[in-house]
Chain A
Amino acid sequence: MLDPISLSLPGTHDILRAELPNGIVVLARENFAAESVVLTGSLESGSIFEPLEQSGLAGFTASSLMRGTRAYDFDAMYETLENMAARLAVSGNTFSTVFSAKSLAEDLPTLLQLTAETLLHPVFPVDQTERLRGELMNSLKIAAQSTRAVSSDLMRQQLYSPDHPYYAVSALEQIETLKKLTLNDLKAFHARHYGPRGMIVVVVGAVKAEEAVKLVEDTFGGWSNPDQPALPAIPEASPLSEIRREAAVLPGKTQVDISMGWLGPRRTDPDYQAVVMANSILGAFGMMGRLGAAVREREGFAYYAASRYSTAKAQGPWSAITGVNPKNAEEAIRLIVGEIERITTEPVSESELADNKANFTGSLPLALESNEGVAGTIHSMENYRLGLDYLYRYRDLIEAITVEDVLKAVQHYLNPRAFALGIAGPEVVG
């Protein structure tokens, strides 16, 4: 058996980090136990830069990039990729455009070449972009009829003001804005917001680290965009002081989805780690934590009842979600509110905290089994400025969390009498 110590967590000793003169940060780690190589990265060109009336612009732009570039039309792009059995995907999120790719190690130079073409030189061909618009419209139509997606959108609309990056424009409204976006809008967004400043590239796999960095430098080192704007200031959101409830009727459904939300911390906030721990206790650990125990295991109301907090640069939503039969909706909400009441008034037990700590530190081998897992972890360390020794400090960070830290964190963010509530299903309840 491998010595768990020799697992050799990725760290300063085996991650090669280089800052290119144009601002791109490149990180590489070798793994010759597999034949593949994984490439992952991000650019600071997310939806945070799009005006509300152009909702969907950043995502549409990101999705259009592989539809044709200076040197590769759509067919040539996918011929090259699929002939190598390689993958490349680009998508937009709130703060960034993210890309991920995988190929056999021998094909890395070609993969990087295609990635650079995609990010630097898209041409937004009219036929391809219109085809994509139609596909996106269909996805939005499907989302508009998903009880889960609609309940989540309603929750975010109650929790955030429309100028906040985590406000959710509904799928039906997005269909309308998507219709109006022009090719010139996409081209202008790309020209202005895609650039090397804030860009991170991670390479993990069967390639020498120095060679990987050099390949990235050869491919992206000459890129510049002096007008690329910095991330804008994010408006401070205020916690709700009451329950804001909104429901939508989706005909023909048999299940009601419920989403309750509160403002969560930023990744840089000092109580971030305590919140992630509290979230695990509330709705993740074991069979979906305390929420799973109450709603699924004790009452048998739902297939899932869980809490979610995603690491975020801004005050991301911290939410509780479940899907139940319409006749149980009110009781499920009552059960969840009861668990929020309990976790914000009674300290969690020492043993509960110890179990969750053991999970946080013990699950690293699984999280780092694949090249994809290692690449994602390295990207996070860079993106949130955690330091490349983060995994070596991680155990101490987790062990330092106390029962009081958890209680303080939940009292700061969660409130059983003030939250955003989105409900979507076949009939409006309440």
Chain B
Amino acid sequence: MITPQSLIHAPVRHILPNGLTVLLKEMHTAPVISFWVLYRVGSRNEPTGLTGASHWVEHMLFKGTPQFPAGYLDKAIDREGGEWNAQTSYDYTAYYETMPADRIDLALRAESDRMVNAVFDLEEVESERTVILSERQGSEGSSWFWLGEEVHAAAFRVHGYRHKIIGDTHDLLTMTRDDLYQHYRKHYVPANAIVAVSGDFSPEIMLKRITELFGSIPGGQRPKLFARPEPPQQGERRVKVERPGPTHNLLIAYRAPAVTDPDWLKLLMLDAILDGASVPGGGAVGSRTARLYQALVKTELASSVGTGLNETLDPYLYTFSATAREGHSLEEIEADLEAVLSKAVQGELTQAELERARKQIRALQAYSAESISSQAFRLAYFEHVAGGFEWVESAHEHLLAVTLEDIHEVARKYLKPSTRTVGYFIPTQEAARA
């Protein structure tokens, strides 16, 4: 019988002379390869006036180089049976192609080319301006978008995490082609990039080909991390969004540490008990037996609840969200949510809940090892935010070692009313008319 262990190898790191980090993970479970390039730049790097630049640059990297004009690769990659896309987040921008294994060379050629040669044609920049405004307007259809935007702006007065990744409308209207091009030239250099590959390849051949294509690109300097640390919060902040929308929504954001802080994994374990287990880099189980669902949805106050705890480079937020059911106020839901959290603060979580979370994490670990495309992303992402992919490789082990005492300790430390931001979305007009 074939065993997973014989098909999946441990990841290996290489640093090319120009500073490019290369991470390779062999997985011979399907004839597929996923190729990622992650740049250490995201919306947190954007000063006032240039919010949304990282995401817009990401769009421009799909608008052509002299070698691969706009539209060429969209078709070429589809023709080869592959897929490609990109994502911009707070801390990073990442591009990928997942291809049938024997077609992967196109991905390497495309990524090495657009690391330096994207054109940023003026007309294309203008056309993309309206596409991105349209993307923002599409998101504005959701009440969560508006509420999230206000809560972030209130929670962060100084740090770049304060604005939406897509950017403020005014900046999207006024940013210039040169603003975008400078952002690109500054951040898109081998010394500021991580290449990660997972799938069905020979590591020697893959490294040789990466070296051929990326090795001659001037390494550049890794730009100094743009960070304006958030000063300590001195008292609870509350915001309201009042506009048309379907439901009353609650969003509460507590402070969370950076992912490398030992407290972060303890908070993830606390979150497993409150809202169901998850593992870093993706994968979660249902949460209907978890405390929040039991307290808020089962009691028919809310139609849904959720939490958010992101793996970030700098301290970020641990959020709780709920959608009110008709006839119930946000004040009621907030009070009940606080009652759940205060049980954690008072040390009332149980060993049985912890044991269940541990068991769930073991299963999630097995699931998360299966997908080829998610493997390369995880390696690149944690190489960046955690200072090395080894962090995520050992995270499961560390999670399983978290004790009940640890969980109660982080609950006391982070779930403080004085350092939280509370947001209410209040619909001003409910009914649609046809």
Question: Which A residues contact B (CB, under 8 angstroms)?
Answer: 1-4, 6-7, 32-36, 74-75, 78-79, 81-87, 102-104, 130-131, 134-135, 137-139, 141-142, 144-148, 150, 154, 170, 172, 246, 248-255, 285-287, 293, 296-304, 323-325, 355, 358-359, 361-366, 368-371
Residue of A36, A139, A286 near B366 (CB, 8 A) is A36
Residues of A within 8 A of B370 (CB): 34-36, 370-371
A2 / chain B contacts, CB cutoff of 8 Å: 28, 30-31, 101, 200
Contact B31 A365 (CB under 8 A): yes
Q: Choose among A148, A150, A255 the residue that contacts B137 (Cβ–Cβ < 8 A).
A: A255
B277 vs chain A, min Cβ distance (A): 7
Give A138 to B324 CA distance when docked, in angstroms.
9
The answer to whether residues A144 and B78 also contact, given A78-B288, A85-B359, A324-B134 and a CB cut-off of 8 A, is: no
Known: A250-B432, A301-B134, A355-B75. A369 touches B371 (CB 8 A): yes
Which residues does chain B contribute within 8 Å of A141, judged by CB atoms? 246-247, 430
CB-CB nearest 6 A-B residue pairs:
A362-B81, A252-B244, A85-B363, A300-B127, A286-B74, A138-B303
List A contacts of B135 (CB < 8 A): 303
Q: Which residue of A lies closest to B2 (CB)?
A: A32
The answer on a CB contact under 8 Å between B74 and A82 is: no
B353 to chain A, nearest CB (A): 11
B245, A34: Cβ atoms closer than 8 Å: no
B380-434: which have CB < 8 Å to A?
428-434
Q: Pick 7 A–B contacts, CB within 8 A, sort by A.
A: A34-B370, A252-B429, A253-B244, A255-B138, A297-B71, A300-B128, A362-B82
Given A141-B246, A300-B130, 13 new contacts (CB under 8 A): A7-B31, A34-B369, A85-B364, A86-B363, A134-B300, A144-B432, A248-B434, A287-B71, A301-B130, A304-B138, A355-B79, A359-B78, A366-B100
| Pairwise interchain contact A138-B130, C-beta atoms closer than 8 A | no
Tell me, in angstroms, the Cα distance from A298 to B71 when the chains sit together: 11
Nearest CB of B to A159, in Å = 17
Q: What is the CB-to-nearest-CB distance from B55 to chain A, in angstroms, rounded to a whole number? A: 12
Which residues on the A side are within 8 Å of B7 (C-beta)? 33
Given A362-B103, A369-B371, CB of A78 within 8 Å of CB of B30: no
Question: How far is A297 from B261 in the complex, measured between Cα atoms in Å?
Answer: 44
Residues of the A chain whose Cβ atoms lie less than 8 Å from the Cβ of B200: 1-2
Q: Is the CB of A368 within 8 A of B81?
A: no
> Which residues of A are found within 8 Å of B428, using beta-carbon distances?
252
List residues of chain B with CB within 8 A of the CB of A359: 78-79, 81
CB interface residues, B 142-201, toward A, < 8 Å:
200-201
Bound complex: CA A377 to CA B128 (Å): 37
A286 touches B71 (CB 8 A): yes
Which chain B residues have a beta carbon within 8 Å of chain A's beta carbons? 1-4, 7, 28-32, 62, 70-71, 74-75, 78-83, 98-103, 126-135, 137-138, 140-141, 200-202, 243-247, 276-277, 285-290, 297-298, 300, 303-304, 323, 325-326, 356, 359-364, 366-367, 369-373, 428-434
Determine the chain B residues whose CB is within 8 A of the CB of A170 once the complex forms. Answer: 434
Instruction: Known contacts A36-B367, A83-B359, A172-B432; decide if A138 and B30 are in contact (CB<8 Å).
Output: no
The reply to whether B134 and A303 form a contact with Cβ atoms under 8 Å apart is yes
Q: Which has the most chain B C-beta neighbours within 10 Å: A253, A254, A323?
A: A254
Instruction: Give the residues in chain B near A250, CB-CB below 8 Å.
Output: 244, 432
Q: Are A248 and B433 in contact (CB under 8 A)?
A: yes
Nearest-neighbour CB distance to chain A for B205, whole angstroms, equals 9
A-B pair count, CB < 8 Å, reads 233
- In the assembled complex, the Cα of A252 lies from the Cα of B133 at a distance in Å of 16
The residues of A that contact B126 with a CB separation of less than 8 Å are 300
Residues in B with CB closer than 8 Å to A248 are 432-434
Docked complex Cα distance between A150 and B28 (Å): 45
Contact for B78 among A82, A103, A286, CB less than 8 A: A286
Interface centre among B30, B126, B134, B367 (most CB of A within 10 A): B134
Give the docked Cα–Cα distance between A49 and B112 (Å).
55
Complex CA gap A363/B130 in Å reads 32
Please tell me if the beta carbons of B83 and A366 are within 8 angstroms of each other in the complex: yes
A75–B134 CB distance below 8 A: no
Distance from B220 Cβ to chain A, minimum over Cβ atoms (Å): 30
Q: How close is A5's CB to chain B, nearest CB, in angstroms? A: 9
Shortest Cβ distance from residue A426 to the other chain B in the assembled complex, whole angstroms: 9
List of A residues within 8 angstroms of B1 by Cβ? 32
Residue pair B140, A255 in contact (C-beta under 8 Å): yes
Q: Which residues of B contact A298 (CB under 8 A)?
A: 127
In the complex, residue of chain B having the shortest beta-carbon distance to the beta carbon of A354:
B79
- Give the shortest distance, in Å, between B144 (CB) and chain A (any CB): 10
Chain B hits for A303, CB < 8 A: 131-132, 134-135, 138
A33 touches B31 (CB 8 A): no
Question: Separation in Å of the A211 CB from the closest CB of chain B?
Answer: 13
Q: A1-B101, A369-B372 are in contact. Are A84 and B363 (CB under 8 A)?
A: yes
Residues from chain B with a CB closer than 8 A to the CB of A137 are: 326
B428 closest partner in A (C-beta): A252
Minimum Cβ distance to chain B for residue A170 (Å): 7
A340-B367 Cα distance, complex, nearest whole Å: 44
Hey, which chain A residues are within 8 Å of B71, CB to CB?
286-287, 293, 297
Q: When chains A and B are docked, how far (Å) is the Cα of A285 from the Cα of B76?
A: 10
Check B286–A78 contact: CB distance below 8 A.
Answer: yes
User: Which B residues are CB-close (under 8 A) to A4?
Assistant: 31, 100-102
Nearest CB to that of A293 among chain B residues? B71
A138 touches B128 (CB 8 A): no
A365 contacts B138, CB within 8 Å?
no
Residue of B whose beta carbon sits closest to that of A143: B246
What B residues does A285 contact at CB under 8 A?
A: 75, 78
Minimum CB–CB distance from B24 to chain A (whole Å) comes to: 14
> Is the CB–CB distance between B325 and A134 below 8 Å?
yes
Known: A32-B2, A293-B71. A1 touches B202 (CB 8 A): yes
In the complex, which residue of chain A has the Cβ closest to the Cβ of B134? Answer: A303
Cβ-closest chain B residue relative to A84: B363
Query: CA of A325 to CA of B129 in the docked complex: distance in angstroms?
Result: 13
B29 lies within 8 A of A104 (CB): no
Whether A142 touches B247, Cβ cut-off 8 Å, given contacts A7-B31, A255-B141, A362-B100, is: yes
CA distance A359 to B99 in the complex (A): 11
Minimum CB–CB distance from A372 to chain B (whole Å) comes to 10
- Rounded to whole Å, the gap between the CB of A416 and the closest CB of chain B is 24
Q: Once the chains are docked, how many angstroms separate the CA of A142 from the CA of B141?
A: 10
User: Given the complex, which residues of B lie within 8 Å of A251, measured CB to CB?
Assistant: 244, 429, 432
Is the Cβ of B363 less than 8 Å from the Cβ of A365? no
- Report the minimal beta-carbon distance from A132 to chain B, rounded to whole angstroms: 10
Distance in angstroms between the alpha carbons of A3 and B100 in the assembled complex? 11
Q: A87–B79 contact, CB under 8 A? A: no
Q: A1-B200, A287-B71, A365-B32 are in contact. Are A104 and B363 (CB under 8 A)?
A: yes
A134 to B297, CA, bound (A): 10
Interface contact B432-A82, CB-CB below 8 Å:
no
- Asked if A302 and B101 sit within 8 Å, CB to CB, the answer is no
Closest to B373 in A: A369
Residues on B with beta carbons closer than 8 Å to the beta carbon of A148? 141
A7-B140 CB under 8 A given contacts A82-B356, A170-B434: no
Which A residues are in CB contact (< 8 Å) with B81?
Answer: 358-359, 361-366
Query: Residues of B contacting A135 with CB < 8 Å?
Result: 297, 303-304, 325
**Measured CA separation A236–B237 after assembly (Å):** 59
Contacts of A249 in B (CB 8 A): 432-434
